[in-house]
Amino acid sequence: MANFSVPIAYLREIGVVPEVSSQSDPVTQILERYRGYLVTERGLVASSISVNLRVAKVFCRKRDLRLEELSAAEVTAYIVAISTCSSIGWSKKTVSALASFLRFLYITGITTQPLAAALPKLAGHRRTVPCELDESDFARLLGGCDCSRDVGLRDCAILTVLWRLGLRRAEVAGLRVDDIDWRRGEITIRGKGNRHELLPIPIDVGDAIVRYLHDGHRRVPPGCRALFVQVRAPEGAMSPDGVGDVVARVSRRVGLPAMSAHRLRHGTATQLVRNRASWPEIAQVMRHRTAAVTASYATVDPALTSELARPWPGAL
C-alpha cells in the first residue's frame, strides 16, 4: 500500500491541506487556543509565537501532566530540571515562555492558581562592557560599500538605517516603501509585540534611502512593497538573516571584527550616551519598555563617569 504521509505532511505545511484536529487530545486543543491567544491578545510576531508554542508543547508532553491538577512544586521542579541541561540563555527564554503559558492557563480557568508566580528566578547577568564602535568605525563601514553598484547602494542604506535609528535587523527587513512619509519626515517601524511606532528620519538616512531608490536598479516582484530587496535570485524582500549578513560581510571587508546587526544597535545607544542624551531620550529612540534594558544597551563609558567622581579628601 502506498505511503502518502510525506506529501500530505508537505501539503499541510504549505497550508493547502488543513491540519487534522484531534478531538480526543485535550492538550492539542489547549495549544491551539494558546496559539490564538498569542496572535489576537498578545499580538506577538511569528517567531515569538513559535518559541512559546514549542516551550508549551514540550512542557505538556514531557511532563505528561494533567494541567488542571498542575501544582507550583511541579512547575518549579520542571524549571530546575531544564536549567541543569540547558544554557542560561535558553533557560531564561523557557522561563519567559512558560510564564506566558501559565498565565494563559489561569485566565482561561484551566488552572485555579496563578502558577506563573512559582517560576524561579535564574541567575545570570547582562554584559556591561561598553560598545567600542564609534563614528569612525561607522564611516569605515560605509567606505566598504561600492555605491557604483546596486548592492553597494542597498548595503549603504541598510547600514545607515541600522546605525542612525538603532533598529533591529527584523525591523529593517520589515520596512515597506509605504512606511516612509516624506512630507512629514517620519518612518513607521514595526517593532516587537507588533507595535507600530514613528521615528523621525535623519537627513543622512533619507539621503541614503533616496540614492538607493533612485539610482539603484531594484528588481521588485509584483506586489512586493519591501523597502530593501534581494539583488540576486530569488527576488523579493530581504530576510532578517540577510540584513545581518550585510553587516558581517561589510565589517570583514573593511578590516573590522565580524559583527552582528545588533552590535550596531548597541553602538547607537552608546553614542547617544556619549552625546549627553538623557536616559528617557535614549529609551524613546531605542523603543525600550524598561529603563533596565536601556541601561544594559547604553553602558556608560568609564571615561564619562570619571568626571562625576569627587576627589577623595587627602588623596595624593
Residue among 154, 164, 263, 288 flagged as catalytic: 288
Active site residue 265: yes
Active site residue 66: no
Position 3 in a domain: no
Same domain? 176 vs 205: yes
Same domain? 172 vs 292: yes
Residue 146 near residue 249, CB atoms below 8 Å:
no
Same domain? 273 vs 191: yes
Same domain? 139 vs 263: yes
Position 6 in a domain: no
Active site residue 262: yes
Domain extent at residue 188:
135-301
Active site residue 37: no
Position 244 in a domain: yes
Domain finish residue from 90, 118, 146: 118
Residue among 140, 192, 211, 274 flagged as catalytic: 192
Residue among 57, 63, 211, 262 flagged as catalytic: 262
Active site residue 168: yes
Same domain? 153 vs 56: no
Cis peptide preceding 120, ω within 30 of 0: no
* 47-86 exposure pattern, b = at least 16 Cβ within 10 A, e = fewer: ebbebbbebbeebbeeeebebeebeeeebeebbeebbeee
pLDDT tens profile 189-232: 988 777 889 999 999 999 999 999 988 777 888 889 999 999 88
Position 309 in a domain: no
Domain count, the chain: 2
Length of the chain: 316
Residue 64 in this model has a pLDDT that exceeds 70: no
The answer for residues whose C-beta is within 8 angstroms of residue 128's C-beta and 6 or more apart is 296, 299
pLDDT tens profile 19-31: 655 455 788 889 9
Residue among 168, 218, 266, 287 flagged as catalytic: 168
Q: Which three cell numbers stand for residue 227?
A: 523597502
**Of 3-12, 54-63, 151-160, 200-209, which range is least confident?**
3-12
Q: Which three cell numbers stand for residue 55?
A: 516551550
- Give the separation between CA 263 and CA 267, rounded to whole angstroms: 6
Residue 305 in this model has a pLDDT that exceeds 70: no
pTM of the predicted model as reported, rounded to 2 decimal places: 0.68
Residue 103: CATH number of its domain: 1.10.150.130
Same domain? 95 vs 187: no
- Give the separation between CA 305 and CA 79, rounded to whole angstroms: 39
Position 200 in a domain: yes
Residue 48 in this model has a pLDDT that exceeds 90: no
Residue among 37, 78, 212, 297 flagged as catalytic: 297
Q: What are the helix (H) ranges across 44-173? A: 46-63, 72-84, 88-107, 135-143, 150-165, 169-173
Residue among 263, 265, 266, 287 flagged as catalytic: 265
Same domain? 148 vs 288: yes
Same domain? 139 vs 277: yes
Position 127 in a domain: no
Active site residue 297: yes
